[in-house]
Every structure is written in structure tokens, then in C-alpha cells.
């Protein structure tokens, strides 16, 4: 499952819990427990997000060179084993 899909599903659940809290009177789930669930669900998207790193041409070239070197070394390891 992709991060985007996970965040979407968690967001839907969070909205449902928030809606239930708005409409809440008496129910099997105590209100404090619903607040706890809402708090936990609201923290999950923060953990699922990824950070963006902007790179210039020099950075991209360095990463490509590093990947190429790693691939070469991996192939050499395979021929020695």
C-alpha cells in the first residue's frame, strides 16, 4: 500500500472519529477514549510524510556517479563469490 493511500485511509478514519465526537452523546465508547483515538490518528500522517530535498545538477550527477559505483562493486562481488 502506498504512503498516499495509507494517509488517505487514516484521514478518512480521523474524519469519522471527529464527526462522531461532534455528534456524541452516550455510546459504548467513552468520549475520553475517542479523544485518545483522534489524537493517535492525527499523529500518524506526520510519521508517514516524506521530506523533500531539492538538488541542483551537481548533486544529481554525484548521486548518479555513486549509484553507478555501487552497481559496479555489486557486480564485482558477484563474480568473486
Q: How far apart are CA 45 and CA 6, in angstroms?
A: 8
Q: pTM to 2 decimals?
A: 0.36
pLDDT in tens, 17-67: 888 878 876 568 888 888 888 888 888 777 666 777 888 999 999 999 999
The full set of domain ranges for the chain reads 3-80
pLDDT on residue 78: 66
Q: DSSP 3-state assignment of 52?
A: coil
pLDDT on residue 76: 77
> Are residues 10 and 39 in contact, defined by beta-carbon separation less than 8 angstroms?
no
Amino acid at each position: 500500500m502506498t504512503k498516499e493511500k495509507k494517509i488517505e485511509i487514516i484521514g478518512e478514519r480521523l474524519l469519522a472519529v471527529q464527526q462522531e465526537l461532534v455528534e456524541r452523546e452516550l455510546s459504548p465508547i467513552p468520549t475520553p477514549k475517542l479523544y485518545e483515538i483522534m489524537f493517535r490518528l492525527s499523529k500518524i500522517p506526520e510519521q508517514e510524510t516524506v521530506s523533500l530535498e531539492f538538488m541542483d545538477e551537481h548533486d544529481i550527477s554525484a548521486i548518479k556517479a555513486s549509484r553507478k559505483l555501487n552497481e559496479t562493486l555489486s557486480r564485482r562481488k558477484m563474480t568473486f563469490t
